[in-house]
Chain A
Amino acid sequence: GNSVTQMEGPVTLSEEAFLTINCTYTATGYPSLFWYVQYPGEGLQLLLKATKADDKGSNKGFEATYRKETTSFHLEKGSVQVSDSAVYFCALSGYSTLTFGKGTMLLVSP
Chain B
Amino acid sequence: NAGVTQTPKFQVLKTGQSMTLQCAQDMNHNSMYWYRQDPGMGLRLIYYSASEGTTDKGEVPNGYNVSRLNKREFSLRLESAAPSQTSVYFCASSEEGTAANYGYTFGSGTRLTVV
Contact = CB atoms under 8 A, between A and B. Distances in A.
B106 A32 contact: no
Interface string A44-68: 1110010100000000000000000
B41 interface: yes
A42 B108 contact: yes
A31 B103 CA distance: 11
Nearest to A44: B106
B61 interface: no
Contacts of B33: 97
B103 A49 contact: yes
Interface residues of A, number: 24
B100 A32 contact: yes
A22 to B, nearest CB: 15
A8 to B, nearest CB: 9
A44 B99 contact: no
Interface of B: 4, 31, 33, 35, 40-43, 45, 48, 50, 58, 90, 92, 94, 96-97, 99-109
9 contacts: A49-B101, A89-B43, A93-B103, A95-B100, A96-B97, A97-B33, A97-B45, A101-B42, A102-B40
Interface of A: 31-32, 34, 36, 42-46, 49, 51, 89, 91, 93-103
